[in-house]
Amino acid sequence: MGYEYDAIPNDVDDYRRRCDTLPLELESLATFSRSVGAYEVWLSDPGRPGSGWEEVQLVFGRDRVRLTCMTPLSDSVRSDLRLVLALVGGSGGARYVGDDGEPAGF
């Protein structure tokens, strides 16, 4: 069973200005697995079995990034998700929120 979260920027206008380049910036993360189109990125622990599930799908939307966690998160993916939040938030910051509206921390 997967879990869904949103990375919500505090300054949505700033996020919108940078949204087109953010997925490209994630390619430098240690857990970057692949991109699908311009606004979808997958992260996985580099040590996972090649036939295993990828851990997190990120879909960049107009006002936020939707994360779908497919498996329990490895320490390396958790670490990179903190970097993702910093990138999404820019200088204005951002927060992760679960689909229940509660804050989520990685």
Instruction: Provide the CATH number for the domain around residue 37.
Output: 3.30.310
Mean pLDDT of 60-75: 94
**What is the pLDDT averaged over residues 4-15?**
96
Q: CB-hemisphere CA count at 13 Å for 76?
A: 13
Mean pLDDT, all residues of the chain: 92
Is the pLDDT confidence value at 69 over 70?
Answer: yes
Give the Cα separation of 21 and 60 in Å (integer). 10
Tens digit of each residue's pLDDT (9 = 90 or more) over 14-64: 999 999 999 999 999 999 999 999 999 999 998 887 777 778 999 999 999
Helix H or strand E segment including 101: none
Give the domain range for residue 59: 3-104
Structural domains counted in the chain: 1
- Contact of 18 with 90, CB cutoff 8 Å: yes
Q: Greater confidence, 99 or 96?
A: 96
Contacts of 41 (CB under 8 A, 6+ apart): 23, 26, 27, 32, 34, 35, 57, 58, 60
Residue 1 is predicted with a pLDDT of: 54
Q: Across residues 88-97, what is the average pLDDT?
A: 95
Burial class (CB in 10 A: 0-12, 13-18, 19+), 5: buried
pLDDT at 53: 75
Both structure tokens of 84: 């993702």
